Amino acid sequence: MRCVIQRVSRACVTVGGELAGSIGAGFMVLVGVQNGDGEADAAYCASKISGLRVFEDAGDKMNLSLADVGGRVLLVSQFTLLGDARHGRRPSFSDAARPEEAEALFLRLKALLEQAGLSVETGRFRTHMEVELVNDGPVTILLDSRKGF
């Protein structure tokens, strides 16, 4: 499972002009589910997302987590995170999990984050979404449950 975590001051996702999810300060997380991902991958990502300390403390040091600052999460599925553009000009998405499997793990990640006490909004799976965000910092963290990077 791959995640692009962006610290935001606000973020929202719309589908067909209708607001699907919106947050204030917190994390906007793009999620790509890979073939072979399972419960352990979702648990790893949920643990990292909920515990990531990238918010400033009183000494301006990135030392606080989402829970510490009352931040929220906007999860958006994005199979293109598994795109392989090393060969040719058209990316291959063969490493992306089938939609049914990906959606189940995406929802499992959401549930695990909620179990950790976080408020989570989402986009809509398998739809064309428009995502708006204000990246705060900017702070962007790449996460891969297989520790590929």
Active site residue: 27, 55, 79, 106, which one? Answer: 79
Of the candidates 80, 115, 127, 140, the residue annotated as catalytic is 80
C-beta separation of 15 from 129 below 8 A: yes
- CA atoms of 31 and 15, how far apart (whole Å): 17
Q: How far is CA 13 from the centre of its chain?
A: 13
Distance CA 6, CA 83 (A): 19
Told to judge if 140 belongs to the known catalytic residues of this protein, a careful annotator would answer no
Q: Is 86 exposed, middle or buried (0-12, 13-18, 19+ CB in 10 A)?
A: exposed
Q: Is there a catalytic annotation at residue 79?
A: yes
Active site annotation includes 80 = yes
10, 136 Cβ separation under 8 angstroms: no
Q: Which of 6, 34, 78, 122 is catalytic?
A: 78
- The set of catalytic residues is 78-80
